[in-house]
Amino acid sequence: MQYAIKILITSIVVLLASETAKRFPVLGGIIIALPTTSLVVMCFLYYDTKNVAKVAEFSRSIPPIIMVSIAFFYGFSYLIDRNVGFVISMLIALLLMFSVYGLYLFLATRIGL
């Protein structure tokens, strides 16, 4: 039952954002850019573990990865604006994101993050 509730809540957030984006793309972006998924996950994590230290660690892990996500969004929009095509733009932007993520992990381990 717990998994069904988690799936339902998560689905509602994604559905709300995607349906809003059809009519109001900026508002749909705002819904997704807000830490809605992070808030939901933190609530689930706390409910499941009752461990505030684990929730705090999760919370601290998010900001550095946001920078990795930015590489995806800028790369994708750049390629789409140049008529590269949706699927190819998505694949290249994902490759860019994973490359930046790999660089982040490499640098993080080198400086001890």
pLDDT tens by residue, 47-76? 999 999 999 999 988 888 888 889 999 999
Average the pLDDT over 12-31 and give the result: 89
- 8: pLDDT strictly greater than 70: yes
Tokens of 97: 């994101």
Average pLDDT over all residues of the chain = 90
**35 three-class SS:** coil
For the entire predicted model, the pTM comes to 0.71
pLDDT value at residue 66: 85
∠ Cα 102 11 101 (to 5°): 5
pLDDT tens by residue, 33-43? 778 788 888 99
Length of the chain counted residue by residue: 113
- 113: pLDDT strictly greater than 70: no
Q: How confident is the model at residue 24 (pLDDT cuts 50, 70, 90)?
A: very high
Q: What is the Cα–Cα distance from 25 to 18, expressed in whole angstroms? A: 9
Residue-wise burial string across 55-83, b where 16 or more C-beta atoms lie within 10 A, e elsewhere: beeeeeeeeeeeebeebbeebbeebeeee
pLDDT value at residue 51: 97
Residue partners of 31: CB distance under 8 A and separation at least 6: 13, 16, 17, 20, 21
